[in-house]
Homo-oligomer: A and B are copies of this chain.
Amino acid sequence: MTEAVLAAHRALYDAVESGDADLMSALWVDDPETSCVHPGAPILRGTSEIVRSWVVLMAQIGYIQFFLTDVEVTTLPLGSGAPETAVVSCTENILSGDPDQPGGIAAATSFGAATAQSTSILVRHEAGWQFWLRHASPVMVSMDEIEEN
């Protein structure tokens, strides 16, 4: 079950990397109450609005690759043998290439790196595990830095 959750979770990043809007759309519960927070942005509600935002973002990206670390899955209710909710947290280590440079990584002449922290909620639905919510935020400071202030 955890494997099915992780496969659906990873597929979101595959969809962005390959610019596959149909896959992205299929990964979300089709509901006006779903939500997505892109790093630094306000919340978006509703699957059509969320998928549209991903299509816009994918259109602006030349090359992007996500290296996920510290991936943790919790299923809810806690201790249930048949959970219907899964929470996935991970650190997204993002490598992106020059959007004006076609041809992918081999042709890209400049790269950017960024780190984001993401929380996703997936629910068990007719079509398997699907995204109900994703909240990603930029990692700009360490807690040590906060505590030192």
Contact = CB atoms under 8 A, between A and B. Distances in A.
Interface of A: 33, 35, 37-45, 53, 56-57, 60, 70, 72, 74, 76-78, 84-85, 87, 89, 91, 117, 119, 121, 123-124, 132-133, 135-143, 146-147, 149
**Total copies of this chain within the assembly:** 2
Nearest to A85: B76
Contacts of A91: 42-43
A30 to B, nearest CB: 12
A96 to B, nearest CB: 13
Given A78-B123, A119-B37, A146-B56, A139 B85 contact: no
Contact of A84 (B77, B87, B146): B77
